[in-house]
Amino acid sequence: MTEVLLEVRDFSVAYGSHLAVKGISIQVLENEIFAVVGPNGAGKSTLLSCIAGLLPPHSGAIRFAGMDVTHASVFRRRKLGIVLVPQEENIFPGMTVRENLEMGGVLLSSKEREERIDYVYQLFPRLKERRRQIANTLSGGERRMLAVGIGIVAAARLFLIDEPSVGLAPKLVTSLLESLRQLKEDTGRPIILCEQNIKVLNVADRILGMEAGEGKFCEDLESVDRERVKELYLGLHA
């Protein structure tokens, strides 16, 4: 039986008097892509930020790998293996691609760090081609690959990836999402993926639909009404 790695119970987040996330409860299993879908302002990014520890909860609890991390610091969660890949500011812009990846493995032995960097290059061959290039000269898609790569080298146990398809060409969206699915299959590490592109339906195992801060459904991909998801929660761009 697949184990629960992350459990969020009755979780709410407030900005002042406004509840941005309202009583969300989810369980994320080992070896799955858990997609969070919904329109802009649904609370998707806020939920990820709270799981990563960047925002305090208004109420509720978070357990990770059997431990209560509701009030744990960002540093503590990061050491436990919770890695957030935000839309912006997710790389070291003045360093080369190679140096960025090395930063992810700064606490590892040189042998383990090299093994993880080699895997990143296999998963994202474009990064190997640009390993000596300064990160802020990369394309948007390459930067997202690099941000995920840093997390891989840093031995993430849970990836929180926010809107990776924003601003990317359709072919690159497909390639990036397929790489994330390959990452899950190779490592068994779960991924929580906030997304508005319909192509997320091609890689997700389960889907949480959010609207106005509330969870409207949480179902296996086989059970969910795909047309309803497309109509209500996802952009129509392919």
CA nearest neighbour of 224 among 236, 213, 232, 214:
232
**Can you give the pLDDT at residue 237?**
47
Residue 92: inside a domain:
no
Number of domains in the chain: 1
Question: 179 and 144 in contact (C-beta within 8 Å)?
Answer: no
Residue 186: inside a domain:
no
- Return the amino acid letter for 52: A
Residue 200: inside a domain:
yes
Residue 238: inside a domain:
yes
Residue 196: inside a domain:
yes
Q: What is the Cα–Cα distance from 215 to 72, expressed in whole angstroms?
A: 24
pLDDT in tens, the chain (238 residues): 579 999 999 999 998 888 999 999 999 999 999 999 988 889 999 999 999 999 999 999 999 999 999 999 999 999 999 999 988 878 999 999 999 999 998 878 999 999 999 999 999 999 999 999 999 999 988 998 999 999 899 888 999 999 988 888 889 899 999 999 999 999 999 999 999 888 999 999 999 999 999 999 999 988 888 887 887 777 654 4
**Can you give the pLDDT at residue 27?**
97
Range(s) of the domain holding residue 22: 1-76+191-238
Residue 36: inside a domain:
yes
| Residue 238 belongs to domain with CATH number | 3.40.50.300
Residue 145: inside a domain:
no
Residue 214: inside a domain:
yes
